[in-house]
Amino acid sequence: MGFDGMVAFVTGAARGQGRNHAVRLAREGADIIAIDLCAPVQGAPYDMATRADLDETVRLVQAEGQQIVATEADVRDSAAVAKAVATGVERFGRLDVVVANAGIAGSYPVEDLTDEIWRDMIDINLTGVWNTVKASVPHLRAGGRGGSIVLISSIAGLKGLPNNAHYAAAKHGVLGVMRSLANELGPEGIRVNAVLPTNVETRMLLNDAIYKLFLPDEPQPTREQVEPLLHGMHALDVPFVQPDDVSNAVLFLAGAESRYVTGITMPIDAGALVK
């Protein structure tokens, strides 16, 4: 398999895209270092992952025949992230792939976007990515084999979305981190790239707050009512992509098939950026 003997660090791994990336990497032979906050966040208007969700990720990775070290840790806490990575590397002896996936979403018009909501978004979706990379680079360097860092941005990294100034600012910032580090780390064989998903069929998208954003005049809008509107975001006739579609890109950028690919933005967007 493509990642036999390798070790991958995945943040936000308890649920959704993060879990899917971890399980797909494990299916291809990687052992996993995983972290997730497993607690509520102000400004994220949907339920967050729990310890039970993280335990399920552990079960799924082990079911693929791989080992996993899973820790409750907040990407806003650089010391906690560094400790989690170091614990995993001590267990497995190496680090090869980093997937900075942890993030939140939440849509607010400018007048409702409080200082606290702004700070939480930037701290998790941008500074959290930085903390992840900074904690990982020494271990990638120590291996002397190069490595791959995949940052999960968004179509909002290249496009302004209404009611999402804080989210777009963070996701644009992720691309700045990616481009700078691709140049800085390239001479050591460490590649840095970004994946830019559109809507993905996870809890981050499919929740009451998103439904209300699209249909504000409906007292209790439903997924079935909102899906036709989501189609309108894309050139292809789909409302969203699947976690596996994003994981396909992550595995490509993490693997040997992309050995000379660095510094790119890879949209998985059903044509949202050309519409």
| CA atoms within 13 A of residue 22's CA, in its CB half-sphere | 35
* Residue indicated by tokens 């904690």: 135
* Angstrom distance (rounded) from CA 45 to CA 139: 35
167 is catalytic: yes
* Angstrom distance (rounded) from CA 164 to CA 183: 29
Is 31 in contact with 66 (CB distance < 8 Å)?
yes
Give ∠ CA 213-218-223 in degrees, rounded to 5: 65
Rg (CA), the chain: 18
* Angstrom distance (rounded) from CA 87 to CA 198: 33
Q: Which of 46, 108, 167, 211 is catalytic?
A: 167
Is 247 in contact with 225 (CB distance < 8 Å)?
no
* Angstrom distance (rounded) from CA 10 to CA 18: 7
Catalytic annotation, residues: 167
